[in-house]
Chains A and B, each alone.
Chain A
């Protein structure tokens, strides 16, 4: 997915962003305690979705990390 002269793949950018987002979403869920306002608050969706983003982000960040040409 990297192309030609590119040293940093777009997938790396995506990976880093998702990784950061995962932590932010978990942080928001754990600190706000406002999840009870939503339907199915007992499922703790924010925590699970944040964890999924961290895993996806870590995968893309590692698989497409910049390499010396």
Chain B
């Protein structure tokens, strides 16, 4: 069955889709647009558009929270990393996510929720004043649309390699669809679609590990095959190769994983990146807001099953050896990044192939919707209303939110084209994004837990942390030997360098915040009500049964998390 759609296809491709597969993808696009049009009628006020009316159940907020992070590049990128580095990639899903998500739910969410803030920069305004809010809002808005553009370009590139789709076609069709449904229904539409996308991602990707394990002869069969094929059994161990920088292919030490990734980077991302936190702010009450990250963490723990495991299975069952991008182009072979589509094509025939590709497209769109809805909120509330037009009506701000959703998508498309011309921009922007996460976590954490932190301390700590991170990055760029100081080893790879740079910049942020706070006048406790631990009355859970309490489920998740680490040690 040939459709007009096929006019956009090119000849070189990894997977060939038939008419049934194209029909599945087309129906998906119709469904997400239908949800957007349906929800438009229920999105009238600013709270509807930017906070989904604060009506989401814990399940919807939680699945959306996870889905906004589960982009297709993440799926394919980590499957590729698992092929290269083995099970070490699972650290980014377990120690690099679970403790932080539980901490967000149990400790930080009450303050975000009780303060009634609409954004993370909004919380900084309430706690530290306008200057801290502007610093974080401008950096977040700027970096979010740039990152969105980079993801868009990378996704279009993948679609060209895997399906032979024209790069311009992929960029415009997928991004304009996101623009339409988010502009129509705001955060509510983004969240509803993210839940739909979450289901499709799982149902589209789940067959790969199931069939792969059958083919490899179960987990032990896979371990044996990998050990035979790769000449090493380190690919299937999570911790026992992290005693030295040189014992594992990632070039990282366990201190980098635990302190850099498990503490600073992970807590910074999961607790202060507004892209994900916005979903939880839409919860209908404080219990739902606390439960949402805990529900998300339970599902997050099992994402390696559809991401890391396919990469490992590829090491065991694929007849060809995958290589880096340049070597693949030179030899005409396949690169690491193609591992997930290769495994998809190995087990999935017509129809299932369309479902798998729909899952990848859904992943891309959920990530992008997360970016543009967060951008629209931060731009409208934290920049436009705070600096440009302070006295607008609610309807005016909703209108601004709709327009800047479209504007955000257009800027992202512009970034995608810019990256197409100057590919080195991608490395710079990805590094830039990491500059803000770790210091912001230091500022928000002290703001919530330490009464003595002052507005001056908060602002200068955030600025110093960010500047120190940029400084360390520039230092290593100018003098590569500085890597042995910043990352504690000259053998450290990019990921390891990011971990340590995050750790140092967080420490700088905290130290400067503490020193400046002690040098400046403390805020009265009455001004900290609803914002800081010790000055805020957290609503009691009363006589709720044990199974209804967030702490109970957090303990269950923590126990499973510990068990998984022990099993795969």
Q: Which residues of A approach B to under 8 Å, CB–CB?
A: 1, 3-6, 8, 10, 13-14, 17-18, 20-21, 24-29, 31-32, 34-35, 37-41, 45-46, 49-50, 53
Contact A3 B57 (CB under 8 A): yes
Q: Number of B residues whose C-beta is below 8 Å from A?
A: 39
Q: Which residues of B approach A to under 8 Å, CB–CB?
A: 18, 20-21, 23-24, 27-28, 31, 34-35, 38, 42, 53, 55-57, 59-60, 192, 195-196, 199-200, 203, 207, 211, 214-215, 284, 345-352, 354-355
Contact A24 B20 (CB under 8 A): yes
Complex Cα gap A26–B199 (Å): 19
Q: Which residues from chain A contact B59 at a C-beta distance below 8 Å?
A: 1
Contact A1 B347 (CB under 8 A): no
Q: Which residues from chain B contact A31 at a C-beta distance below 8 Å?
A: 20
Contact A13 B355 (CB under 8 A): no
21 of the cross-chain contacts (CB-CB < 8 Å) are A1-B57, A1-B60, A3-B60, A6-B42, A6-B55, A10-B196, A17-B200, A24-B24, A24-B27, A26-B351, A28-B20, A28-B349, A28-B352, A29-B350, A29-B352, A32-B18, A34-B18, A35-B350, A39-B211, A41-B349, A46-B348
Contact B31 A45 (CB under 8 A): no
Complex Cα gap A28–B351 (Å): 5
Contact A45 B20 (CB under 8 A): no
Partner of B27, one of A3, A21, A32, A50: A21
Complex Cα gap A4–B282 (Å): 13
Partner of A29, one of B57, B192, B349: B349
A35 to chain B, nearest CB (A): 4
The 4 closest A-B pairs by CB, nearest first: A28-B351, A28-B20, A25-B351, A35-B349
Q: Which residues from chain B contact A13 at a C-beta distance below 8 Å?
A: 31, 34-35, 192, 196
Q: Which residues from chain B contact A46 at a C-beta distance below 8 Å?
A: 348-352
Q: Which residues from chain A contact B23 at a C-beta distance below 8 Å?
A: 24
Consensus secondary structure, chain A interface: helix
Contact A10 B347 (CB under 8 A): no
Complex Cα gap A30–B42 (Å): 42
B420 to chain A, nearest CB (A): 33
Contact B60 A39 (CB under 8 A): no
Known: A1-B59, A20-B27, A28-B20. A38 touches B203 (CB 8 A): no
Q: Which residues from chain A contact B199 at a C-beta distance below 8 Å?
A: 14, 18
Contact B350 A49 (CB under 8 A): no
Partner of A38, one of B57, B192, B348: B348
Partner of A28, one of B18, B38, B56, B215: B18
Complex Cα gap A60–B31 (Å): 16
